[in-house]
């Protein structure tokens, strides 16, 4: 996704599935990186929604994943690739309120089925590819010159 733009910053994080103790750590780190840069606060807010929701989906549904966080001169690119069950019906998963979260996850305050719709709402470009039984790859771009 960064072929035509200059990469200024890149970090790759590992996210562990089914581990609520470390859940959210990647997004917290991304937050501190972004706060130190001169980027519009609304762009930062949108990138953090995307990062947090995508990270939590790895925690809740996958075994392990990586979050690649890239800032170019044009955009913030967040790529999340996981090894996990995959998503059988992406269109259905994108619907507001659709969730396969367990009761335990709901007790923790997750699983309202708003993660993917909010990722969509807050990205300028979103691509999701999934192989059932193998994993899921999500690419989200938030353009630095956009304002939702
Ligand atoms: N990385 C993933 N791996 C497998 N399934 C996923 C993944 N991300 C999302 N899903 C599926 O899509 C559904 C909707 O996701 P989302 O909108 O984030 O809602 P929620 O996480 O609250 O269930 C999830 O309940 C799950 O079934
Ligand atoms: Mg979610």
User: Is there an atom of ligand 1 within 6 Å of 82 CB?
Assistant: yes
User: Is there an atom of ligand 1 within 6 Å of 111 CB?
Assistant: yes
Cβ-contact 89, 78 below 8 angstroms: no
148 in any annotated domain: no
Looking from the CA of residue 98, the nearest atom of ligand 1 is 14
Whole-Å CA distances, 47 to 65, 82, 94, 108: 18, 19, 18, 23
137 in any annotated domain: yes
1 in any annotated domain: no
**Residue 1, pLDDT above cutoff 70:** no
Q: What average pLDDT does range 85-100 have in this prediction?
A: 98
Residue 3 confidence class, pLDDT cut points 50, 70, 90: low
Domain span at residue 102? Answer: 7-143
Q: Locate tokens 């089914």: which residue?
A: 18
Mean of the per-residue pLDDT values for the chain?
95
CA dist., res. 71 & res. 50, Å (int): 14
2 in any annotated domain: no
**Residue 84, pLDDT above cutoff 90:** yes
15 in any annotated domain: yes
Residue 147 confidence class, pLDDT cut points 50, 70, 90: confident
What is the pTM assigned to this prediction?
A: 0.96
The total number of structural domains that make up the chain: 1
41 in any annotated domain: yes
């Amino acid at each position: 996704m960064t072929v035509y733009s200059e990469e200024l910053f890149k970090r790759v994080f590992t996210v562990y599935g089914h581990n609520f103790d470390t859940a959210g750590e990647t997004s917290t780190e991304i937050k501190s990186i972004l706060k130190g840069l001169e980027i519009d606060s609304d762009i930062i807010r949108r990138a953090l929604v995307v990062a947090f929701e995508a990270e939590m989906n790895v925690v809740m549904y996958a075994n392990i994943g990586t979050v690649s966080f890239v800032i170019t001169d044009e955009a913030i690119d967040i790529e999340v690739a996981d090894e996990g069950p995959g998503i059988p019906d992406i269109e259905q998963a994108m619907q507001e309120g659709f969730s396969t979260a367990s009761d335990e996850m709901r007790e923790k305050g997750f699983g309202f089925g708003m993660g993917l719709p909010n990722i969509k709402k807050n990205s300028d470009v979103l691509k999701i590819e999934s192989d059932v039984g193998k994993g899921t790859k999500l690419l989200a771009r938030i353009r630095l010159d956009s304002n939702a």
